[in-house]
Structure 1
Amino acid sequence: MKKYIITPILALLFIGCSTTDDVNLDEHAFYNTTQESLLTYAQKELSDYMNTPSVNENNFRLTMQYWTETIYVNESNYDFTNRTVSNNVWTDNYVNVLKNLDQAERIINAYTPTPSELTTWPGKKKNQLAIIDMMKVYTYQVLVDTYGDIPYTQALNIDVYPLPKYDKAADIYTDLITKLKNDITSIDTSKESFKTGDIFYYNPTIGKSDLDKWKKFGNSLLLKLGIALADVNPNLAQSTVNQAITGGVMTSSGDDCKFTYLAASPNENPMFQETSSRDDFIAGKTLVDYMNVSNDPRISAYYTDVDGDYIGQVIGTPGEFADFSNAGEFAYTETTPGIILSYTEVSFYRAEAAARWGIGGSPAALYATAITSSFNDWGAGDATAYIAAHPYNAANWKKSIGEQAWVAMYNQAVTSWNFFRRLDYPQLVAPSTAIPNAEGKVPVRLQYPTAEATTNGSNYAAASAAIGGDKLTTKIFWDIN
């Protein structure tokens, strides 16, 4: 019997796995599995990483000054080494997401169809591989945008490359764009794909993955990749953005890529798992003050009030949970979806493309569309008055789009960090209590994991030198302004 090794999968999420033992009792168990169960696990792990506020793993709600901590304020002051945060980010994305996707890809490629499947399997195989690869592209972009140069060409072949080299971040981006274009082209909506396992875009009406939505996801991700290169490689950026918009990006929140969490333990939203039993987080003064001054009606969904007022604590300073606004009800709800890529996010990219190059329509109109979409996401009512009070400013479009994207991406903090670094708005100020390694600035990258320095030392050292130093202040290659 052929055996595979993967990380443990929650029993509830174990779709289509065949085993004679209870593998959940032994995280190192050997067993047969399917591409569907691996896909489910990878999707959940990716969503968990992108959405958790765990100080051990994803601190970008703190970095973007949406929240701050009540007692232990290390991470609000950018101390990410105390809890080996970077090790966890690295492992979660490389092992729990990418390695499981890679194993799913291997199973698909190795599968021998039965006689009855000979005519349908080729199309189904192409669609499944395209979906798997689009998720890999998404995850690699997250890793590049977090660290810069990373292992890529040798990353997942640990038998041959137990100590993988690091590839240039710019080269990875170019390859990701090529791969993604091929994935989009490969999708044939008239063929089969996944009938189980796909949490992101499973359509119960048709009993399988919705390939039309996967195609929109692919083009929207292509738009995201293109926009990221706007300042460093404008020719590739424009051609990529043009192709994405022409191909068809998300057109409503119904196209959002998100993970559906369950009310039952242990499959609740990881945000709920962090907030439900601990009073670790309070509102950050930076965003609360901005929204108060802006008379932003979304504030009642973002935060709780304190006797009718919304109060945020100074970033990096301890504070009593009861004295400040807390996260809104969404953060204490088990089934709040985990956002991977949203129509609101895509709308801001489209506004930016229009502002930069005149691509895709009126920047003012697309700016309004993005804000309206955010209002709809949060049930905040009509956005017309807010947009009139905060109109698009063509003379400083980076400020207009950057600040409004910061507000709108409140529950997509990893994405918000990208807008902040690319557009240089909002102009966040590091707390005076920030660790010396931050050099008085808000971090623009995570340092490489200490585990890489100790186990893959030569490649780590070469990569650190190539990017200009393994520091919180070393800019990602596309962040040149």
Structure 2
Amino acid sequence: MKTIKLIKSTLLALSIVIMTVSCSDFLDVNDNPNDPSISTPSLTLPVAQTDFAALNARTMTYVGQFFMYNWATPSNWSANQDYPRYNITTTFNTGIFETSYVAIFKNLTYIENYEDATGAVDYSAYRAIAKTIKGFQYQYLVDIYGDIPYTEANLRGANTTPKYDDAETVYTQVIDELTAAAELALNLPGNAEDPASQDVIFGGDMNRWAQFANSIKLRMLVRLSNTGQDAYIKAEIAKIDANGAGYITEDVTANPGYSDNTDKQSPFYGFFRNPSTNSQTDRGDYTVASDYTINYLTGTDDPRRERLYAPAATGGAYKGVYQSTTLPGTGFTSNDLSKVGPGLLVSHDQDQNIMLLAECLLLQAEAVQRGYITTGNAKDLYNEAIEASFATLGVPNAVTAAQTYYSQALPNVSWDASPNKIEAIITQKWVALNGNSSIELWVEYTRTGYPAGLPIPAESGGVRPVRLLYPASEIARNSANVPTLTNQDAFTKAPFWK
């Protein structure tokens, strides 16, 4: 039996990766971009973006994949014990909270507040970018933790014990910030500094930043669908329509110059493959497909199966296993099962996906179906989303293959054959975001309960988590402000929008 000693907190591992990536050839600088006191927005922005991409690619996707039953662990490894047991404690995946505040928000706040001493350079483009990324990450912190530090956060020495703001209030304020970010991106002053290549996501294309801000805002507004705030949702979507930028038209990705060197690979790829040799990391060997997901993709004749998963080393079949810490050995080892596939692990320098076009199109389809967006056709958007998913995963002849797929008269595959359109949309999102931004799948399941019939591990106690607990490190240093929670609250205290 192979065993590994898993670090309870992912912060140390993430920080090592982040620091090394930040010192890649692309980001080599004389000043230290991780110390804002001696940096500038042009040096700090790519560091913040790289940290942001890595956190979402690794920890947040890994949590989402296991909570949504896409991945499992083979019988010859004792890794990932906490996942099938849903052992949600104050030491479970703390890097989501800690890296957001300690690295990402610290640098983005520095960018927002920076003023050129000479007054000759305007950094409005950088501020618009910082606001947009903060909006993306703050949304997930509310979705995952509830109340969080916001109004007093990121003040460094001025306030090291910030208060916790009400989750719904943070949501509303973040929506306002995204509105402002899109407006700023579209209306820069004439002397605004062009981020250009220092922007490792859009290369300084501010219209695309406005589209991204609008898309994140739409996701937040759709998240409020159960709260009885339809008038507010429609009014905020009208503001999106008014700025004229629309929504993203291609996958949002980051690439600061990933390379085939230690700790410089594209972060998702580097989770599963070693540099230079392309051999499996331990994680690449102990992360395998779940039986439910393989069976679902096979049963719906979905060619994305061959892109999301690889055939088993032994026998060449596509095979998954149920989530458990007590699997039988025969037929359930890592070589017997499908691992992460070629549509997700493309190359060491692959772009790191942040938000897929498929997700945004499905958000629009839901908004149309619910009457929030009054233009467009929900069915067309749904079908376009499936086509975009096929293209992202590299399915051969993607559009034709997608059309063949969604023409099957199957519920949650064909729009017309789906009696519950929202269920169809969320089920397709579950497939499209497998291995990409997968934390979104868990949050959407909490909101909607779809996909229906998703298994729960036998060792979990029969209830899926609806939130994470605040990290022990935060409780220790900010005990007067951190909300008091029990381990059971991870399963009962749902987000405000539930």
Distance 1:265 1:8, change over 3 A: closer
Give 1:403-414 correspondences, 5 Å limit.
403-410=427-434, 411-414=436-439
Structure 2 Cα separation of the partners of residues 160 and 336 of structure 1 = 40
Q: 1:61 maps to which residue?
A: 65
Give me the whole-angstrom Cα distance separating, in 2, the residues matched to 1:8 and 1:409.
28
Q: 2:379 is matched with which residue? A: 364
How far the C-alpha of 1:308 sits from its partner, in A, is 4.4
Q: How far is the alpha carbon of 1:234 from its aligned partner?
A: 2.2
Partner of 1:112: 117
SS at match of 1:163: coil
Match of 1:432 in 2: 458
Give, in whole Å, the separation in 1 of the partners of 2:471 and 2:85. Answer: 15
User: How many equivalent residue pairs?
Assistant: 442
1:167-178 alignment, distance < 5 Å: 167-178=165-176
Which residue pairs with 2:319 in the alignment? 311
After TM superposition, the structure 1 = structure 2 runs for residues 208-223 of structure 1, keeping only pairs within 5 Å, are 209-223=204-218
TM-score normalised over the length of structure 1: 0.85
Report the more deviating stretch, 188-197 or 220-229.
188-197
* 1:155 match: 153
Letter in 2 for 1:398: I
**Could you report, residue by residue, the CA deviation over 1:200-250 in whole angstroms, capped at 9, with x for unpaired residues?**
011xxxxxx111111111111121121111211222222223433553333
Choose the corresponding residue for 1:328, options 330, 335, 341: 341
CA distance in 2, matches of 1:13, 1:39: 15
Partner AA of 2:458 in structure 1? S
| SS at 1:331 equivalent | coil
Task: State the Cα deviation string for residues 380-400 of structure 1 (Å, max 9, x = none).
Answer: 222111111121156411211
Equivalent position SS for 2:254? strand
1:195 Cα deviation after fit: 3.3
Shift of 1:74: 1.3
Conserved 8 A contact 2:86-2:464: no
- TM-score w.r.t. the length of structure 2 is 0.82
The structure-2 alpha-carbon separation of the partners of 1:175 and 1:14, relative to structure 1 and needing over 3 Å to count, comes to same
For the 8 Å contact 1:15–1:196, the answer to whether it is kept is no
Deviation, structure 1 residue 452? 2.6
| Distance of aligned partners of 1:88 and 1:13 in 2 relative to their CA distance in 1, 3 Å threshold | farther
Q: Structure 1: which 4+ aligned runs deviate by more than 6 Å?
A: none
Identity of aligned residues (%): 25
Residue 491 (structure 2) pairs with residue 477 (structure 1):
no
Residues 319 and 337 of structure 2 are in contact (CA less than 8 Å); yes or no, is this contact kept in structure 1?
A: yes
Residue matched to 2:306: 300
* Structure 2 counterparts to residues 221-232 of structure 1, below 5 A: 221-232=216-227
Q: State the shift of 1:80 in Å.
A: 5.0
> Counterparts in 2 of 1:87-166, with a 5 A limit?
87-106=94-113, 108-109=114-115, 111-113=116-118, 117=120, 121=121, 124-166=122-164
Counterpart in the other structure of 1:39: 45
Q: Give the drift of 1:86.
A: 3.8
Task: After TM superposition, list the pairs within 5 Å mapping 1:347-386 onto structure 2.
Answer: 347-357=361-371, 359=373, 360-380=375-395, 381=398, 382=400, 383-386=402-405
Deviates more, 1:244-253 or 1:144-153: 244-253
Give the RMSD, CA atoms, in angstroms. Answer: 2.7
- Displacement of 1:69 after TM fit? 1.8
1:236 aligns with 2:260: no
Q: 1:301 touches 1:378 (CA, 8 Å); kept in 2? A: yes
For residue 226 of structure 2, give the secondary structure of its aligned residue in structure 1.
coil
The one of the two structures with greater contact order (alpha-carbon pairs below 8 A, sep at least 6) is 2
Distance (whole Å) between structure 1 residues aligned to residue 296 and residue 182 of structure 2: 40
Structure 2 gap ranges (5+): 1-17, 274-280
Residue of structure 1 in register with 2:481 after alignment: 459
CA deviation map 1:303-341 (0-9, x unaligned):
111334311111234441101111112336322322212
Per mean C-alpha deviation after superposition, the further-off stretch among 422-431 and 75-84 is 75-84
> Kindly tell me: are residues 82 and 323 of structure 1, through their superposed partners in 2, closer, same or farther at Cα, counting changes over 3 Å?
farther
